[in-house]
């Protein structure tokens, strides 16, 4: 049995609790939040704490801590957890800056703890189908890709908490909403060489961007187009990922990128293609992504292996977004490796 604790009992923590409860070999032993009222509903379920360090000192049976606090606090709390020798599951984004993300990786390595970043969309059925096809190299040389997030987050969403939409604690549409889509883009297309982008705050009363568009060049030479917005009226419209290769075309779409809209691959028969599309339609969400993350960490702890979505994997979209925002601010192309405009 691997024992889990959670720090930060906001909305996303409920997904972690449900995942722990449904994962074989997992047990929730403690939760922590500075707001004691948030802990009341967990009375009798597990130990309750309002101080993270006290929880780590007193609850010695904790193996893994799931960090679910506002993004700007990730580095500080990850340091506390790692120095106590506990493994870490870190909600997305890994951090709001490349420097903080790299520091988290460094701290985890120095203390010999495993680090997993929550990018659960990798485990959706449509994405798993695409991963298999890509691993079989059925698309040939890739020409370009398109990553799109057209969602709605109204002012009431940002007004729920004073940290939402801030540069210090939350980030904008790229860090907070589109990062899962960007993680998938990088997972399939590989590292980005350069970014040319624009971003704006059009509708919401926030510090960060609510719409962003840009083009990227991958190290492979392939190109990409990124569009992300929380300004879509009156509700979420779509999230999609399209990839185009010499011998294959695919578009995964729907409101949450969980259906195969288009699939044409040279070496796949119509029968196999239609079977894959229909199987995804029957169960477009599959086993919850957070449960995959929990079970993967259990396996990593028990077999002393790296989690699938490691700290280095979590760093990649943060690098892309930091370069994206630098390009938007300077109006110039930014190269990922040195993160400097030219």
Running DSSP on this structure, what letter comes out for residue 9? -
Residue 98 lies in a domain: yes
**Same domain for 328 and 227:** yes
Strand 2-7 to strand 64-67: parallel, antiparallel, or no bridges (unpaired)? parallel
Using the predicted structure, report yes or no on whether residue 338 has a pLDDT greater than 70: no
Return the pLDDT at 337.
Answer: 76
Q: Is residue 100 part of a domain?
A: yes
Alpha helix stretches (DSSP H) within the chain? 11-22, 52-58, 74-83, 98-110, 125-135, 155-158, 173-176, 179-189, 270-282, 289-303, 311-330
Same domain, 116 and 126: no
Strand locations in 157-272, DSSP E?
192-200, 211-218, 223-229, 238-245, 248-253, 259-265
Range of the domain at 258: 122-285+319-335
Asked if 137 contacts 307 with a C-beta cutoff of 8 angstroms, the reply is no
Alpha-carbon gap, residue 72 to 58, rounded angstroms: 26
Residues 139 and 88 in one domain: no
Query: Which of 184-188, 208-212, 303-307, 336-340 is least confident?
Result: 336-340
pLDDT (0 to 100) of residue 119: 98
- Average pLDDT of the residues in 114-127: 98
The whole-number average pLDDT for the span 63-69 is 98
Q: Tell me how far apart the alpha carbons of residues 69 and 161 are, in angstroms, rounded to a whole number.
A: 12
The per-residue pLDDT for range 73-90, each reduced to its tens digit, is 999 999 999 999 999 999
Q: Do 36 and 104 belong together in one domain?
A: yes
Mean pLDDT of all residues belonging to the chain: 96
Same domain? For 70 and 173 the reply is: no
Statement to judge: residues 68 and 213 lie in one domain = no
Asked if 108 and 149 sit in the same domain, the reply is no
Please state the rounded mean pLDDT for residues 218-230.
98
Domain-embedded: residue 217 = yes
In a domain, 191, yes or no: yes
pLDDT at position 239 is: 98
Section 329-340 average pLDDT: 82
Peptide bond before residue 93 is cis, with ω within 30 degrees of 0: yes
Residue 269 sits in the same domain as residue 298: no
pLDDT per residue as tens digits for the range 247-295: 999 999 999 999 999 999 999 999 999 999 999 999 999 999 999 999 9
Asked if 227 and 147 sit in the same domain, the reply is yes
Residues 172, 240: Cα–Cα separation, whole Å: 19
Q: What sign results for the dihedral spanned by CA atoms 121, 115, 162, 182?
A: negative
> Does residue 70 belong to any structural domain of this protein?
yes
What is the pLDDT averaged over residues 294-301? 98
If asked whether residues 268 and 302 sit together in one domain, one would say no
At 186-209, the pLDDT tens digits run 999 999 999 999 999 999 999 999
CATH number for the domain harbouring residue 295: 3.40.50.720
Claim to verify: residue 142 and residue 268 sit in the same structural domain:
yes
CATH code: domain of residue 202: 3.30.360.10
| Count of alpha carbons within 13 angstroms of residue 81, beta-carbon side | 30
Count of structural domains within the chain: 2
Kindly tell me if the per-residue pLDDT of 339 is higher than 70: no
Nearest to 88 by CA among 320, 323, 306: 306
Of 190, 242, 243, 250, the closest CA to residue 217 belongs to 190
Report the pLDDT value the prediction gives residue 173, as an integer from 0 to 100.
98
DSSP symbol at 201: -
Tens of pLDDT, residue by residue over 1-10, are 999 999 999 9
pTM of the model: 0.95
pLDDT band at 340 (very low <50, low <70, confident <90, very high): very low
C-alpha 95/C-alpha 175 separation (Å) is 9
107 plus 228 within the same structural domain: no
The verdict on residue 340 lying in a domain is no
Output phi, psi for 337, to 5 deg.
Answer: -60, -45
- Whether 37 is in a domain gets the answer yes
What six digits make up the tokens of 30?
A: 């403690």
Task: State how far the Cα of 7 lies from the Cα of 51, in Å rounded to an integer.
Answer: 9
């Amino acid at each position: 049995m691997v024992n889990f604790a959670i720090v930060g009992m906001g909305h996303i923590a409920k997904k972690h609790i449900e995942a722990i409860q449904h994962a074989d070999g997992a047990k929730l032993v403690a939760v922590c939040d500075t707001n004691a009222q948030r802990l009341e509903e967990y009375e009798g379920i597990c130990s309750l704490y309002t101080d993270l360090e006290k929880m780590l000192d007193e609850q010695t049976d904790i193996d893994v801590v799931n960090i679910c606090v506002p993004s700007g606090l990730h580095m500080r709390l990850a340091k506390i957890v790692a120095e106590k020798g506990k493994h870490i599951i870190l909600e997305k984004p890994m951090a709001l800056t490349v420097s903080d993300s790299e520091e988290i990786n460094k701290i985890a390595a120095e203390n010999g703890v495993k680090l997993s970043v929550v990018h659960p969309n990798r485990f959706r059925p449509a994405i798993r189908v695409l991963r298999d096809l890509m691993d079989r190299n059925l698309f040939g040389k890739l020409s370009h890709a398109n990553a799109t997030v057209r969602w709605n987050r109204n002012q009431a969403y940002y007004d729920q908490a004073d940290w939402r939409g801030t540069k210090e604690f939350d980030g904008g549409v790229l860090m907070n909403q589109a990062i899962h889509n960007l993680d998938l883009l990088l997972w399939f297309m590989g590292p980005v060489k350069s970014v040319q982008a624009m971003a704006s705050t059009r509708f919401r009363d926030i510090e960060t961007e609510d719409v962003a568009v840009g083009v990227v060049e991958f190290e492979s030479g392939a190109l990409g187009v990124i569009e992300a917005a929380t300004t879509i009226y009156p509700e979420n419209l779509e999230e999609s990922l399209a990839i185009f290769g010499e011998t294959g075309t695919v578009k995964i779409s729907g409101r949450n990128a969980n259906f195969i809209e288009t699939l044409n691959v040279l070496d796949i028969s119509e029968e196999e293609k239609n079977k894959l599309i229909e199987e995804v339609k029957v169960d477009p969400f599959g086993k919850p992504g957070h449960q995959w993350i929990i079970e993967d960490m259990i396996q990593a702890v028990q077999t002393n292996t790296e989690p699938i979505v490691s700290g280095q994997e979590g760093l990649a979209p943060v690098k892309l977004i930091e370069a994206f925002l630098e390009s938007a601010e300077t109006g110039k192309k930014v190269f990922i490796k040195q993160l400097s405009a030219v």
